[in-house]
A and B are shown apart, each in its own frame.
Chain A
Amino acid sequence: MARIIVVTSGKGGVGKTTSSAAIGIGLALKGHKVVLIDFDIGLRNLDLIMGCERRVVYDFVNVINGEATLNQALIKDKRVSSLSILPASQTRDKDALNKENVGKVLDDLGERFDYIICDSPAGIEAGAMMALYYADEAIVTTNPEVSSVRDSDRILGMLASRSRRAELGLDPIKEHLLLTRYSPKRVEEGEMLSVEDVEDILAIPLLGVIPESQAVLKASNAGEPVILDTESDAGKAYQDVIDRLLGETVEFRFLVAEKKGILSRLFGG
């Protein structure tokens, strides 16, 4: 049985697609068979972040409508062969998906892959509900600021009430908190919520803390998921996330601001 993981948040722009891409590649690099699905129909981004936008021929909606087979639509990643991407359609809207057909596609994918990562659109409307409906686990991506935390809280309520698992009375979706764009310096200055604050409000287990990093933007523009940048803090933090997802206990890094030495301070290090 494949693990179906939805990457969701409620609020937009918090790093869902960046995280989906990083987690997809990270799991594939560990030797697992992974498929990334872009549920953001009409605003496809995942293929850009993954650097495969020029290879999109058929998409998720074509498969749903029976206009293409999964084999035709799946794009194999050029860096990691065990990773595939099912891109969203740019020309359709979110109403193109329906539960029954999405369920069928997920069943088919489940036979071929170990992990199905669903990159959810923002919001709490039909598209986001579709992305989380079949999930076994949810990675709730949150920025350390109040509106993002509030929206994540809302999504957690949806996960507990609107998913297939909730409707059938099965074990609830396993929830993980992924804090992104974290800046320890700004937390110390009182401008940003701390990890403890967010954990206290959302009350779900912490999967990872990704530090605010220039590397993320660079990686997105280059179509090279940031986890491949093994020198960057963000890349390392995503690596830790993968290890924790696979059941390892890894200490949290990048939670305190680096104390700059006098030399680096003088020379603007």
Chain B
Amino acid sequence: MADASIEFKGSSFTLSVLHLKTTTLADLREDLIKKVAQAPDFFYLVPIVVDIERVDSSIDYQSVKLLVEEFKFTFVGFTGSVAKEQKKLIRELGFSFVNSANSPANNTAKVDTSTKPVAAKPLAEPKNKQAEFVPKLELYTDKIHRGQIRSGQQIYAKGQNLVVIGSVSAGAEVIADGNIHVYGSLRGRAIAGAKGHHQAQIYCQNLEAELVSINGNYWLSESMEQHWSSPAYIHLSDTELVSSKLI
């Protein structure tokens, strides 16, 4: 076997998940048009899994697949915690069914590998499921930076939250795998959840950022008008960034 030309191995990836809230194709199309128009390049050929948990089984699987492909996503399969029969049906129709790593089915099967207590969500709340295919949720520690982060400087808190006691200048960049806290003005770029952490948030005492990004979803300054020049935090609801007043 050693010199076989191929080798199969398991690996974890972060995949985008499209959560369906309706089975009406016209509505789905309309919302997809709006979404994709916001960042056409960002979505181009992005592998996507369609979550059908929140819709009933009357769904037209073939049409949904064609719909997402029409928007240039690369369709991977369906996911969601659904009945065994439905999974079977999906496979019989020729589509993959992807078990989310922290769906109940997997949680029971992989208890040994889930080393982090936070990740194991109660089975009674499957709707709180995370969007990541990677189940790894860490308890982030903090990287603390005292003082200004100047134009041209870049700080990366790898596997950590980033706390900046000072301002982040225009032209500077702060990146964290966890959350970003700026006790000062955020005028540069802030990228939180850099390795695909959907719950990451960005907090600052004065929001004047050039760009904020959480788990790959980003905003330029023009989207921050609502809380511009005031204390605010940015978080993700599903796949949309939301800013809220801090105090």
Contacts and interface: CB of A to CB of B under 8 A. Distances in A.
Interface of A: 150-151, 153-154, 156-157, 160-161, 200-201, 203
A157 B167 contact: no
A259 to B, nearest CB: 31
B10 interface: no
Interface of B: 147-153, 166-167, 169-172, 185, 187
B164 to A, nearest CB: 12
A203 B166 contact: yes
A157 B152 contact: yes
A177 to B, nearest CB: 13
A161 B147 CA distance: 13
A157 B153 contact: yes
A156 B148 contact: yes
B170 A150 contact: yes
A167 B151 CA distance: 20
B150 A201 contact: no
A196 B147 CA distance: 19
B150 A160 contact: yes
Name A's interface SS.
helix
B153 A203 contact: no
A203 B165 CA distance: 13
Given A154-B171, A160-B147, 5 more contacts: A150-B170, A153-B169, A154-B152, A157-B152, A201-B167
15 contacts: A150-B151, A150-B170, A153-B150, A153-B151, A153-B152, A153-B169, A153-B171, A154-B150, A154-B151, A156-B148, A157-B150, A157-B153, A160-B147, A201-B170, A203-B167
Most buried by B among A150, A151, A153, A157: A153
Closest 7 CB pairs of A and B: A157-B150, A153-B151, A154-B151, A154-B152, A153-B169, A157-B153, A153-B150
A157 B166 contact: no
A150 B167 CA distance: 14
Nearest to A159: B150
A239 to B, nearest CB: 30
A150 B171 contact: yes
Report which residue of A151, A156, A157 has the largest number of chain B beta carbons within 10 angstroms of its beta carbon.
Answer: A157
A266 B147 CA distance: 51
B207 to A, nearest CB: 15
A154 B171 CA distance: 9
Contacts of A200: 185
A150 B153 CA distance: 12
